[in-house]
Amino acid sequence: MDLTNLIGRELLLSDLLTEYTESDLSGCTFRPAFHSAKRRAQCNRCGSFSKLTEIYPCICGNNCIYCRYCIQLGKVRACDKLVTYEAADLFSKKPVPYLKWQGSLSEQQEKASKEIVLSIKEFTDRVVWAVTGAGKTEMLFKGISEALEAGKRVCVASPRIDVCLELAPRIQAAFPDIQTALLYGGEESVYIYTQLVIATTHQLLRFKEAFDVLIIDEIDAFPYYQNEGLYYASEKAVKKQSSTIYLTATPDTKLQRKIVKGQIEASILPARYHGYPLPVPKIIREKDIFSMSDISASKACRQILMLISRRQKFLLFIPTIRLMDSILPALRRFFSTTRFESVHAQDPFRKEKVESMRKGELQFLITTTILERGVTFKNIDVIVLAADHDVYTESALVQIAGRAGRSADYPEGKVTFYLEEWTRSSKGAVQQIRQMNRQAAKKGLLL
């Protein structure tokens, strides 16, 4: 039986037995699905802890612990085993360059690209801290190419499916001769063993000591407590000697501290590709609009009216769906002659609405945090209502502000945060944006 597909994987025995027999797997290494640690049970697939008392009726006929945290990848039960096949990778060195991408890099991109190549060569880790709109993907190409040519196995991962789906075609186009596997939760395609893998970080849990190079994009996409799982997954998925490259526009405080202390090497790209500074949010102090009986007198409404009269397109961020629902009727009444839409994560017409905003058919789009990253519109302003709400982390606010001024045609897009009280997140976000602009100016990267 050919076990090539198992190289670098770590899978559940119960799942494998639907495809392989016990004797097929005789050359594999088995370990229990859980081990006990600190009077709790730790899942060996995802690293999460369960209480020893959390036992439930199980297919084995007993009561077993199972892992709730990685259950979307299939249920890990305490009576199951994790299986790895410890064999060397089958990729050989190639003297020909794999990279077919023809574009050029800006000065700061070129520098970061070289640093990435070096990290990969020397098996060291690196953070690439690049502001929104700096153009991150292109500067990875050189490093990926050299790794592939050296016969290394490479994975590009992101916590967000939409980021993976956006990256995949760009990477495939840059490396047309390399077979790529795209792994994400959605439509489960048949897994094949490939030298280049694009995957959600969740899918990394199905790998063990698989990659020589792991590149993780948008590591800041989730709040910290979910990131613990991400670090576990990435550490498990890489080989003992390997290089992990973290890409982020807004590193969390833990990572920022590591950078400052020099515990991890960093490439910092403080400027956008077009050379204009990041728009710094303007703060307007106002009682939150959702508790007003008459919104028409609010500063926020007056600003919206002003933007409409100037035909300036904009995004209006609202913290939650519930607040969005509560204010929509008033907005519809108030701006009855203006074309606008509202979107949220569960909206079945999300794609269509975003598309019609992009085409310029809408004057503005009201959104929850789902449009905080990834989606880019040309020539827009950004307004955040209740920017002091709990849902907004520092990184979310930096990302939201980063929606404005993306294109060279309208680099001075305006960002306004309405808030009643400063929060740690809102303060941190404004500081972070200012700091990047200062750095960019100091390095002479601004026009």
Partner 1 sequence: MSRCKWCGTIHSNTLTIHALVRFELQPDTLCFQCREKLESLNDQLTCRGCSRIQDKTDYCPDCLSWQKTYQGHTHIHEAMYAYNEFASQIIEQFKFTGDCAIAELFVKEVKEYFRKIGQTALIIPIPVSRESYSTRGFNQTELLLAVSGVTYNSVLVNRYQCGRQSGKNRKQRLESPQPFEIDPCHGELIRGKPVVLVDDIYTTGRTIYHALDLILPMEPSSIRSFSLFR
Residues that bind partner 1 (CB under 8 A): 54, 56-60, 66, 68, 71-72, 75, 225-226, 320, 322, 346
CA distance 159 to 180: 18
Which of 45, 126, 142, 239 is the binder for Zn ion (CB under 5 A)? 45
Nearer to Zn ion, 361 or 390 (CB): 390
Residue type, 171: I
Nearer to partner 1, 92 or 346 (CB): 346
Least distance (Å) between residue 66 CB and partner 1: 7
Residue 46 interaction partner, one of Zn ion, partner 1, none, beta carbon < 5-8 Å per kind: Zn ion
Q: What angle do CA 377, 157, 268 make, to 5 degrees?
A: 65
Looking only at residues 56 through 75 of this chain, which bind Zn ion when binding is defined by CB under 5 A?
58, 60, 64, 67, 69-70
Binding segment toward Zn ion, per CB under 5 A, in 6-14, 76-84, 190-198, 304-312: 76-84
CB-CB contact of 13 with 80 (8 Å): yes
- Torsion sign over Cα 354, 248, 395, 279: negative
Residue 202 interaction partner, one of Zn ion, partner 1, none, beta carbon < 5-8 Å per kind: none
Q: Is 172 helix (H, G, I), strand (E, B) or coil?
A: helix
Q: Is 50 helix (H, G, I), strand (E, B) or coil?
A: strand
Residue 189 interaction partner, one of partner 1, Zn ion, none, beta carbon < 5-8 Å per kind: none
Which of 6, 12, 43, 65 is the binder for Zn ion (CB under 5 A)? 43
Least distance (Å) between residue 77 CB and partner 1: 8
Residue 398's nearest CA partner among 303, 285, 280 is 280
Residue 322 interaction partner, one of Zn ion, partner 1, none, beta carbon < 5-8 Å per kind: partner 1
CA distance 414 to 263: 36
Q: Is 155 helix (H, G, I), strand (E, B) or coil?
A: strand
Kindly report the number of other CB atoms within 10 A of residue 114's CB atom. Answer: 15
CA distance 28 to 318: 52
The string of DSSP codes covering 408-437 is TTSTT--EEEEESS--HHHHHHHHHHHHHH
- Residue carrying the six token digits 């700096």: 134
Nearer to Zn ion, 11 or 247 (CB): 11
Residue 308 touches Zn ion, criterion: CB under 5 A: no
Q: Is 354 helix (H, G, I), strand (E, B) or coil?
A: helix
Nearer to Zn ion, 45 or 202 (CB): 45
Least distance (Å) between residue 71 CB and partner 1: 5
Least distance (Å) between residue 90 CB and Zn ion: 29
CA distance 267 to 170: 22
Residue 1 interaction partner, one of Zn ion, partner 1, none, beta carbon < 5-8 Å per kind: none
Nearer to partner 1, 66 or 314 (CB): 66
Residue 72 interaction partner, one of partner 1, Zn ion, none, beta carbon < 5-8 Å per kind: partner 1
Binding segment toward Zn ion, per CB under 5 A, in 37-45, 319-327, 341-349, 359-367: 37-45
CA distance 336 to 354: 20
CA distance 239 to 69: 24
Residue 345 interaction partner, one of Zn ion, partner 1, none, beta carbon < 5-8 Å per kind: none
Contact set with Zn ion (CB under 5 A) = 43, 45-46, 48, 58, 60, 64, 67, 69-70, 77, 79
